[in-house]
Amino acid sequence: MDSTHVQQLSTLSGLRLPSGCFITVEGGEGAGKTTLISELEHRLSEAGVPVVTTREPGGIAIAEEIRGVILNARHTAMDARTEALLYAAARRQHLVEKVVPALQQGAVVICDRFIDSSLAYQGYARGLGMEAVWEINRFAIGETMPDLTLWMDIEPALGLQRIHRDGARELNRLDLEGLRFHEQVREGYQRVYELYSERIVRLDASLSAEQVLEQAIVAVIQRFAR
């Protein structure tokens, strides 16, 4: 990294991102995605870059309703394929209603989770198979794939410890899965990372929020500031 990049690290000044670039942030529970996304949004906005932040499942009314159905802690009877299809349905609606229009207007879209979540959680950890989950998602998203994915990798035990801290947030149906499930999710992400290493950058999410932000900014600069 040369001195221009080091200067960009603190201010992101002079960073020119291509018009309409799509960045996704992935990781297990308690990885710190929300904090990182809001910091990135802040830095990019300060640098004059138009940014839209959003999340999956959700981000628009219909998908937020689907989110409520999927994550309801009382819905213990939900079948794994039903779960995968609901995530894909929420993804489709969110994409056409919010993500694609924002990209077409030239914004940088930063999305909390996208297709890699389905590959890791439903494809790998739930055992549906990554290829099957890829197929239903191809139907949902067509050709729209992220330009860059930041994978916030953390030991599941540490991530779960963070979210179980008093009042951190309300626990949902997937949070309540055991440690073994979350370890499988991490293994799933590792597989996805190996498959798409040209798109995905791994961040060490066990570090402090500042250090994680720094890694993320380096990844953004290295991917886009050519």
Stretches 8-16, 43-51, 110-118, 147-155: which one binds ligand TMP (CB under 6 A)?
Answer: 110-118
Closer residue to ligand TMP (CB): 15 or 86: 86
- Checking 140-145 for CB contacts under 8 A at 24+ apart, the result is 140/88, 140/89, 140/91, 140/92, 140/95, 141/91, 141/92, 141/95, 141/115, 144/22, 144/95, 144/99, 144/100, 144/103, 145/22, 145/115, 145/199
CA–CA gap between residue 34 and residue 11 (Å, rounded): 20
Tokens of 155: 């030991």
CB 113 within 8 A of CB 28: no
Within residues 67-106, the interface with ligand TMP by CB under 6 A covers: 71, 87
Q: How far is the CB of 129 from ligand TMP (least distance, A)?
A: 15
189 binds ligand TMP (CB under 6 A): no
CB 40 within 8 A of CB 186: no
Instruction: Name which position in 23, 24, 51, 56 contacts ligand TMP (CB under 6 A).
Output: 56
By rule CB under 6 A, what count of residues binds ligand TMP? 12
DSSP 8-state class, residue 223: H
CA–CA gap between residue 54 and residue 69 (Å, rounded): 19
121 binds ligand TMP (CB under 6 A): yes
Instruction: Name which position in 117, 149, 184, 215 contacts ligand TMP (CB under 6 A).
Output: 117
Q: How far is the CB of 118 from ligand TMP (least distance, A)?
A: 4
Stretches 13-21, 115-123, 146-154, 201-209: which one binds ligand TMP (CB under 6 A)?
Answer: 115-123
Output phi, psi for 169, to 5 deg.
-175, 165
Stretches 12-20, 118-126, 142-150, 209-217: which one binds ligand TMP (CB under 6 A)?
Answer: 118-126
159 binds ligand TMP (CB under 6 A): no
CA–CA gap between residue 52 and residue 4 (Å, rounded): 26
CA–CA gap between residue 8 and residue 14 (Å, rounded): 7
Instruction: Name which position in 118, 149, 184, 215 contacts ligand TMP (CB under 6 A).
Output: 118
Would you tell me which residues interact with ligand TMP (CB under 6 A)? 29, 56-57, 71, 87, 112-113, 117-118, 121-122, 174
